[in-house]
Structure 1
Amino acid sequence: MSAAAAEVAVNQYFDRYFDRQATKILPGEYYATKEPEVIVTVLGSCVAACIRDKVSGIGGMNHFLLPLDGSAEPGKPTQSARYGAYAMELLINEVIKLGGRRERLEAKVFGGAAVLRGMLLNDVGKRNAEFVEQYLRNEHIPIAAADLLLDFPRKVYFFPETGQVWVKRIKTIKNDTIFEREREYRQRVKQDVESGSVDLFEE
């Protein structure tokens, strides 16, 4: 997995509305904290998993998109699934490194909308939503809340300390920033897959 496809978020600022430190997650990024912060992202076809130790309040968020992948073979994970699993493990491992306990983790998942123009026939958002739900079931991490699919972007605010999530559904889009970020991100991920840099979890 190249650095272009999965990075720790560095866009931090002080949110005056919530009166606390905030970290903004862009496509391909993740962030976890044990401080009373808010983590923010805007989702179109991508999905975000908010993972939290429900006892300690240590938690974080990722923001990822499965690349389109025609390499599926019966009984074998695709490169796309390997990428998604890697994106999830990055976040889970970071939460555990900060002191979270895997057996106490819970998840809230968002995104997967049908909004990435030119890719609607491929059900990109649906594939992302199905992947994150299946991954969490396989890992026995309960999903405490979800807001997936439909046809509009979302802005998500996650407060790991309390587990609270605010979701704003964006019904009116003023510019193409969301689409351009996801389109550029998808191209980076596609290049990673084609180069073999996400050939992970071989059995």
Structure 2
Amino acid sequence: MALDYDSALAPNSYYDQYFEREAVKILPGEYFVTPRDLLIVTVLGSCVSVCLRDRQSGIGGMNHFMLPGNSDEGFGPVSSSARYGVYAMEVLINHLLKLGARRHQLEAKVFGGGCVLRGITANNIGQRNVDFVLDYLHTEGIELLAEDLLDIYPRKVYFFPASGRVLVKKLKNLHNTTLLDRESDYSLRIRKAPVGGAIDLF
């Protein structure tokens, strides 16, 4: 499936039989933006996802990220955690703008931040992710239309950017450890890797 022109860091594309449309699955640290009537899917534990779209054009996208660092660092203006979160948000926003979205027309729905990773529960990472993303959207003046945050369950999120519709399924029984393994590995990676890449701020 040729999705290169509107994709960003999300190579997992497939045809969703249930919803009868092209779909893209994003993993921790990935995001995807599109001007087309696609489905974007992710599964969240402690990470958060922001579903962001231009309310007029329907250009939309989703990210999937977690703040690095520890609970003592917080997410103030100079913390590495804040820099990482801002980077994750600005990369998503900038790709939307490149496709023709207007920043003043952006609206958001946010999900995740569950307390599901036993190894990093002490850092309260889910709460910190939620606090960061809500503060970011408020500071940037991006309207928050809906949220499903915290709790103890992972979530599967289905986002239809063209319409803005989001479906959320709470996963009360995990059949394997794939989600927990992915987020644990991702958490270790972002602690070791500095934020990189150029961002154009608008």
TM-score in same-fold range (> 0.5): yes
Q: Show CA shifts across 1:7-29 (max 9, x none).
A: 61110001111111000000000
The match for 1:102 is 103
Q: What is the distance in 2 between the residues matched to 1:74 and 1:110? A: 19
Q: Could you tell me how far apart the structure 2 residues matched to 1:41 and 1:94 are?
A: 19
Three-state SS of the structure 1 residue aligned to 2:193 is helix
What does 1:28-47 correspond to in 2, within 5 Å? 28-47=29-48
Which runs of structure 2 are paired with 1:90-129 in the superposition (5 Å)?
90-129=91-130
Secondary structure of the structure 2 residue equivalent to 1:8: coil
**Does the aligned pair in 1 maintain the 2:51–2:108 contact within 8 Å?**
yes
Distance 1:70 1:143, change over 3 A: closer
Aligned-pair identity in percent equals 53
Change over 3 Å in CA distance of 1:75–1:145 after alignment to 2: closer
Structure 1 segments of 4 or more deviating over 3 A? Answer: 69-76
Tell which deviates more after alignment, 79-88 or 184-193. 184-193
Q: Which whole-Å deviations, capped at 9, do the CAs of 1:34-90 have from their partners, x for residues lacking one?
A: 100000000000000000001100000000000124784996420011000000001
Normalization by structure 1: what TM-score? Answer: 0.89
CA distance in structure 1 between the partners assigned to 2:163 and 2:110 by the alignment: 16
Question: Conserved in 1, the CA contact under 8 Å of 2:76 and 2:82?
Answer: no
Distance 1:59 1:197, change over 3 A: closer
Distance between the aligned counterparts of 2:126 and 2:116, measured in 1? Answer: 8
- What code does the residue aligned with 1:54 have? R
Question: Runs of 5+ in structure 2 lacking a partner?
Answer: 1-7
- Partner residue, 1:20: 21
Name the structure 2 match of 1:4: none
Judge conservation of contact 1:71–1:79 (CA < 8 Å) in 2.
Answer: no
Letter matched to residue 67 of structure 1: P
Question: How many angstroms does 1:192 deviate by?
Answer: 1.1
Name the SS of the counterpart of 1:31 in structure 2.
strand
Asked whether the 8 Å contact 2:49–2:112 carries over to 1, the reply is yes
Preserved contact between residue 71 and residue 124 of structure 2 (Cα < 8 Å): no
1:61 aligned to 2:62?
yes
SS across alignment from 2:97: helix
* Matches of 2:75 and 2:48, distance apart in 1: 25
Q: Cα RMSD (Å) of the superposition?
A: 2.2
Given that 1:53 and 1:59 are in contact with CA atoms closer than 8 Å, whether structure 2 keeps it comes out as yes
SS at match of 2:119: coil
Code of the aligned partner of 1:139: E
| 5+ long unaligned stretches in structure 1 | 1-6
Deviations 1:101-137 (A, max 9, x none): 0000000000000001111111000000110100011
- Name the amino acid aligned to 1:57: G
Between the aligned partners of 1:152 and 1:71, the Cα distance in structure 2 is: 25
- In the alignment, the residues of structure 1 paired with residue 145 and residue 114 of structure 2 have an alpha-carbon distance, to the nearest angstrom, of 20
8 Å contact from structure 2 (residues 110, 146) kept in 1: yes
Contact 1:32–1:59 (CA under 8 A) maintained in structure 2: yes
**Cross-structure match for 2:90:** 89
